[in-house]
Structure 1
Amino acid sequence: MATSDTLGVIPRSQPRGLASVHVPAGMAGVLNLSEALGPAMTGTGPAIVPIPAGSSQIVDSIIEATKPDNPLHPIESDSIALVVATSGSTGTPRGVLLSTQALTASAEAFGRRFGTNSRWVVTLPVHRISGIMVLVRSWVYGSPYEVDPSVGGNRPFDATTFASTTKRAARRCAADGRSLMVSLVPTQIMRLLESGQVGIEALQAYDVVLSGAAATPQPLLNTLREYGVKVVVSYGMSETSGGCVFDGQPLDGVNIALGSQQGAEPGRISISGPVMSAGYRLRPDLDAVTFVDGRLMTHDVGRLDGAGLLHVLGRLDDVVTVGGVNVALSAVESIVRHHPLIEDVAVIDVSDMTWGSLPMAYIALRDPHTNRQELEQEIRTAIEQRIGRAATPRFFAYMDRLPMLDSGKTDRLTLRLRASKDVERSRATNNPSVWVASISDSA
């Protein structure tokens, strides 16, 4: 097992380079990254940045943010092993600098919490931090992994295929005595539950089911626990080498503070510890405002309960002003998401000359035949009663499925880019709701 004590920076006469690693969908991408990861971690090879086989726009944005294979831009420090592009769910990706020491510290702390004698099933894209950390943990522990055929969007994620991958991995675990672990996003978990017994039994086979990359709704957690699924909610980001808080409890060495205090009052979450990023690729301006006195200043708001467990309440940057009233869009979204007729929801704001901003809800229904007018009235009533009239969505747009990034997060940037067109359609028909046939629908 590789440890942080055995991994050092190899002296070199030339600055260490940063190499791009092509990560296509499927097994080939996982193998490409796995092959490059070891030399990057030990320092015998260049630092690496995974480049997915996505659209040219996505690839170009990652290359622009990270500038690999460019001798004019050597890596900031020889200690850096990996540069990970942030998801860009609301803007331009940033290249996060992760050292061998930080990645190893994360894997070691995770292993102390959950065990190192494990076998992982890889389901998440390995150019994103959640998928990368599965491979990092396997490398640090010297443990094997299985690859689900859907990885990286190689094919749609479905319960039958996932169950087959799980059974194969479980048989091997039974033979060599390893525990079985998987990292999933909430959308994947919901699809497994909706598939019925096949998906539920697959989830029940795991010793650890990590749920992360996006907020995990409490009703989903309740259902999983009713079925006996060993689900663990992960909180973290690229800047913290992935998950650094699990079920509210920080990993060893990770410190959580709220605002300028460490008390129980809600506040801005800041994080420090050995898992921290060394900063952003070629962005000292961002480093100066994001990493303050050795702490990562997140854009999340949280509170600590009586047991010292962290509860993430929402984001600082989702607060908008509606007619002079501050409205937290995450709070609106949480109320809408709990409605039993709603499959998924994203609440954004649209500009308004009179009110400044207005909330708008993009919704995927469980049943497309739902009476939308009645649903909207129920939503408005619930929101008005709980957080005030200013927070009620003025516009509703319905879709079969919300657009998703390959990281498992809702593609809010795409929704924002099309929102003005949907609002125009709504106003033209004097109807607060519109149906969006597809994300490219602009009629």
Structure 2
Amino acid sequence: MSTLRLIPGTPDAVLSALSEVLDGSGAPFAPVPEDAVGAARVHQAAAPDEPLEDDCAVVLTTSGSSGEPKGVLLSRDALISSAVATHDRLGGPGQWLLPMKPYFVGGLQILTRSLVAGTTPVPVGDSFTAAARRLTGDRRYTAMVPTQLARYLETDLEALRSFDAIIIGGASTPEPLKRRAREAGVTAIPAYGMTETGSGCVYDGVPLDGTSIDLDGGRILIKGSTLFSGYRLRPELTADVLRDGWFRTQDRGEFVDGRLRVVGRVDDVVISGGVNVTLTTVQARLLEHPRVKDAVVLGAPDAEWGTRVIAFVVGEPARDEVRDWVSETLPRTWAPQDVVQLEALPMLASGKVDRQRLLENAR
């Protein structure tokens, strides 16, 4: 077994360490965020002082947006397979802009694709547009989370239009945001994947080459060359989610015209007042409101309701208007019991909504 080295989670440090593990000259590593909370999570999940499992090049820590962070073991072959399949889907290798942290899989894989393509990645500093102008490759790519796309559509539209493709992942892309990007002439490609799949492995509902998708009672199953090797020092958890080569995700999906559509998480259906409520459906309805900029709908334990449905809304509508809006197209029993108005949703460094923080503040 190898030993695991911890390195700073900066673009230069991660790019150097990644280059070494891909060419076989360096030991496996785990990138450490700059903030104390992120660093503590890496130490907890990556356990650097313990012997390292075989078939591992990088240990990435999941964001912990909805639970305990885990150390995900990614092999050299999985990282390279993901990069090659991405370039094949996009039309060939290119130069990548890095607007994401490289200690999360989306940012790490931008660096991997750059190394595989033999191009120099360009990190985004204070200005997305200025960084985009530094790209010199014939084909120009980047990847980001939906929140970043929404912000750049407001501030850096011309720069977004200059890319051959922009991969959108890390969270579900709301339909209104997809329409905004399309109408603005931006080539934004929604991707589905996670740390365990070596970043996005399904682009616009179609699996990348080498990836297979299946459904088991609505639960999404993934098989292919980009899958992780297991969870760090968690053999029981690994055995639970990796079965016969298939990764059992926590997401629900369906096939529409041959394409995968992700409809939510397995735990997104809650029982509130004896009624099954699909939280993602309520959330999608709220995002259609003309004065709602962003929204998340969560369930919280409640003595009266069993689970209380709470809408966290960035925008003007108050409780009664939110409930009426939901009830226009969905059952009245699905309308949120509580509505919390916010100036912005709290985000993790990964670009995902900090659900734990929302629920803690709602108590």
Q: Provide TM-score, normalisation by structure 1.
A: 0.80
- Once the two structures are TM-superposed, the CA of residue 117 in structure 1 deviates from its matched residue by 3.2
In the alignment, structure 1 residue 218 sits paired with structure 2 residue 218:
no
Instruction: Quote the residue 1:50 is aligned against.
Output: 31
Match of 1:270 among 221, 226, 243: 221
In the alignment, structure 1 residue 89 sits paired with structure 2 residue 65:
yes
In the alignment, structure 1 residue 60 sits paired with structure 2 residue 40:
yes
Q: How many percent identity over aligned positions?
A: 37
Once the two structures are superposed, residues 50-72 of structure 1 have per-residue CA deviations (whole angstroms, 9 ceiling, x without a partner) of 110112x331122111112x1xx
Instruction: Quote the residue 2:53 is aligned against.
Output: 76
- Once the two structures are TM-superposed, the CA of residue 385 in structure 1 deviates from its matched residue by 3.9
In the alignment, structure 1 residue 104 sits paired with structure 2 residue 90:
no
Say how many residue pairs are matched: 363
SS in 2 for 1:80: coil
SS in 2 for 1:87: coil
SS in 1 for 2:270: strand
Match of 2:139 among 158, 179, 182: 179
Contact 1:43 1:81 in 2 (8 A): no
Equivalence map 1:125-164=2 (5 Å)? 125-150=101-126, 161-164=127-130
In the alignment, structure 1 residue 248 sits paired with structure 2 residue 205:
yes
Once the two structures are superposed, residues 281-309 of structure 1 have per-residue CA deviations (whole angstroms, 9 ceiling, x without a partner) of 00011112111221111111111122x11
Instruction: Quote the residue 1:36 is aligned against.
Output: 17
Equivalence map 1:174-323=2 (5 Å)? 178-195=138-155, 199-259=156-216, 267-306=218-257, 308-323=258-273
Hey, what's the Cα distance between the residues in 1 that align with 2:167 and 2:68? Answer: 27
- Once the two structures are TM-superposed, the CA of residue 377 in structure 1 deviates from its matched residue by 3.0
Partner amino acid for 1:304? F
In the alignment, structure 1 residue 16 sits paired with structure 2 residue 2:
yes
Hey, what's the Cα distance between the residues in 2 that align with 1:49 and 1:116? Answer: 29
Hey, what's the Cα distance between the residues in 2 that align with 1:293 and 1:278? Answer: 13
Q: Which runs of 5+ in 1 are unaligned?
A: 1-14, 24-28, 151-160, 261-266, 421-443
- Once the two structures are TM-superposed, the CA of residue 146 in structure 1 deviates from its matched residue by 0.9
Hey, what's the Cα distance between the residues in 1 that align with 2:354 and 2:139? Answer: 34
SS in 1 for 2:304: coil
Instruction: Quote the residue 1:354 is aligned against.
Output: 304
Hey, what's the Cα distance between the residues in 2 that align with 1:116 and 1:135? Answer: 16
- Once the two structures are TM-superposed, the CA of residue 268 in structure 1 deviates from its matched residue by 0.9
Contact 2:95 2:120 in 1 (8 A): yes
In the alignment, structure 1 residue 390 sits paired with structure 2 residue 333:
yes
Write out the 4+ residue segments of structure 1 that deviate beyond 6 Å after TM superposition. none
Hey, what's the Cα distance between the residues in 2 that align with 1:108 and 1:270? Answer: 22
Contact 2:32 2:38 in 1 (8 A): no
Partner amino acid for 2:51? P
Instruction: Quote the residue 1:429 is aligned against.
Output: none
- Once the two structures are TM-superposed, the CA of residue 338 in structure 1 deviates from its matched residue by 1.4
SS in 2 for 1:165: helix
- Once the two structures are TM-superposed, the CA of residue 42 in structure 1 deviates from its matched residue by 2.8
Once the two structures are superposed, residues 19-44 of structure 1 have per-residue CA deviations (whole angstroms, 9 ceiling, x without a partner) of 11112xxxxx1001111112222332
Q: Provide TM-score, normalisation by structure 2.
A: 0.97
Hey, what's the Cα distance between the residues in 2 that align with 1:303 and 1:211? Answer: 20
Match of 1:413 among 336, 349, 356: 356
Contact 2:46 2:61 in 1 (8 A): yes
Partner amino acid for 2:131? T
